């Protein structure tokens, strides 16, 4: 229990910092070049720690589930980072919490024991609040009209993909240790980024920026993608999904702090109100979920 709690707290801190660093690095790299180098630095670090023989593990483990997890995290990263490039880290971190809504719906569809959840008044109110907040984020005001915020929409879609990924991870951590599974999944995902990074001339991009930016890029991948996801796998294995999900609601707060320190960003009243709606709605869903499951 204690190990799982420490792991998820480390995850929340590293993911929050990683979101802000992605936004900082968006001034220097395209989406997929940044994704490729962040995932590559993470994978190399995890391989060094685990000393893993990928071929041997893939021959024995559940290749379909591992490949599915890698593909889902690849799709999530492309959509999420593209969305983050087009919006703010705070908005991004709040909208990602919609995975709570999506995960509960998927659990209702996939698991018979969770069908009581979606029919409850608390769940419906929570879903409505979170959804209205998400709709508010997905719209942007101009001087003469209201238009669709494509960046916010991409983050919402990525949140759905993250929910699918979480369900696959729940199955994976039962069948292997967290470090092994994290290393395999993220090593495969990093290879998926290589073709698109090549098309975006990744060598030119990485050689045309100051060395300190390259160092930040590598550190961002190691701590956020590598160590952060390893800790998340440990938390899911040790304490399940519900409690880590609650603690991950701290992410928008930490992102706000890191954004102010690193990027000099402030939080608007509109963001505070919509963010409160999303987080309150998600908290209501989690409370009802825990009441039904436990």
What are the structure tokens assigned to 28, written together? 């220097």
Q: What pTM, to 2 d.p., does this model score?
A: 0.80
Count other C-beta atoms under 10 Å from residue 215's C-beta.
10
**Bridge partner residues of 141 (DSSP):** 146
d(CA 217, CA 30): 12
Residue with tokens 């994978």: 43
Q: Answer whether 57's CB lies under 8 Å from 117's CB.
A: no
Task: Count structural domains, the chain.
Answer: 1
Domain of residue 237, residue span? 2-293
E strands of 55-159, at which residues?
139-141, 146-148
**Bridge partner residues of 147 (DSSP):** 140
Closest C-alpha among 89, 84, 95 to residue 151: 84
E strands of the chain, at which residues?
139-141, 146-148
Residue 94 is predicted with a pLDDT of 81
In Å, how far are 52, 180, 192, 227 from 49, measured between CA atoms? Answer: 8, 10, 22, 10
Which of 100-130 are b and which e, b meaning 16 or more Cβ less than 10 Å from the residue's Cβ? bbbbbbbbbeeeeebeebbebeebeebbebb
Q: Is 142 helix (H, G, I), strand (E, B) or coil?
A: coil
In Å, how far are 9, 54, 61, 134, 138 from 14, measured between CA atoms? Answer: 9, 26, 29, 24, 26
pLDDT tens, per residue, the chain with 294 residues: 678 888 988 998 999 999 999 999 999 999 999 999 999 999 999 988 887 655 555 555 578 888 999 999 999 999 999 999 988 888 888 888 777 778 767 766 766 555 565 667 777 787 778 777 766 765 655 444 444 578 888 998 999 999 889 888 877 877 778 888 888 899 999 999 999 999 999 999 999 999 999 999 999 999 999 999 999 989 888 877 666 766 677 788 788 889 888 988 877 787 778 778 877 877 776 666 555 555
What are the structure tokens assigned to 83, written together? 């969305």
d(CA 5, CA 9): 6
Residue 143 is predicted with a pLDDT of 46
The 8-class DSSP code of residue 51 comes to T
Count other C-beta atoms under 10 Å from residue 195's C-beta.
11
């Amino acid at each position: 229990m204690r190990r799982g709690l420490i792991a998820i707290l480390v995850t929340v801190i590293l993911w929050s910092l990683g979101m802000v660093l992605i936004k900082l690095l968006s001034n220097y790299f395209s989406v997929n070049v940044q994704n490729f180098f962040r995932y590559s630095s993470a994978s190399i670090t995890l391989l060094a720690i685990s000393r893993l023989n990928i071929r041997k593990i893939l021959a024995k483990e559940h290749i379909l589930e591992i490949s599915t997890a890698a593909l889902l995290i690849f799709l999530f990263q492309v959509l999420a980072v593209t969305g983050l490039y087009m919006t703010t880290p705070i908005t991004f971190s709040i909208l990602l919490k919609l995975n709570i809504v999506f995960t509960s719906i998927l659990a209702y569809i996939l698991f018979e024991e969770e069908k009581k959840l979606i029919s409850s008044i608390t769940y419906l109110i929570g879903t409505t609040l979170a959804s209205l907040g998400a709709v508010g984020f997905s719209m942007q005001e101009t001087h003469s009209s209201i238009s669709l915020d494509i960046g916010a929409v991409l983050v919402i879609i990525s949140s759905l993909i993250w929910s699918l990924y979480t369900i696959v991870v729940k199955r994976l951590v039962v069948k292997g240790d967290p470090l092994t599974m994290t290393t395999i999944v993220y090593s495969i995902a990093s290879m998926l980024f290589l073709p698109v990074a090549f098309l975006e001339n990744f060598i030119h991009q990485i050689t045309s920026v100051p060395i300190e930016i390259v160092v930040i890029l590598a550190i961002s991948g190691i701590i956020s993608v590598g160590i952060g996801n390893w800790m998340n796998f440990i938390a899911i294995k040790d304490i399940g999904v519900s409690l880590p999900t609650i603690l991950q609601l701290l992410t928008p707060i930490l992102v706000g702090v890191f954004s102010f320190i690193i990027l000099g960003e402030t939080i608007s009243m509109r963001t505070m109100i919509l963010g409160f709606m999303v987080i309150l709605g998600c908290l209501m869903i989690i409370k009802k979920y825990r009441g039904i499951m436990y």
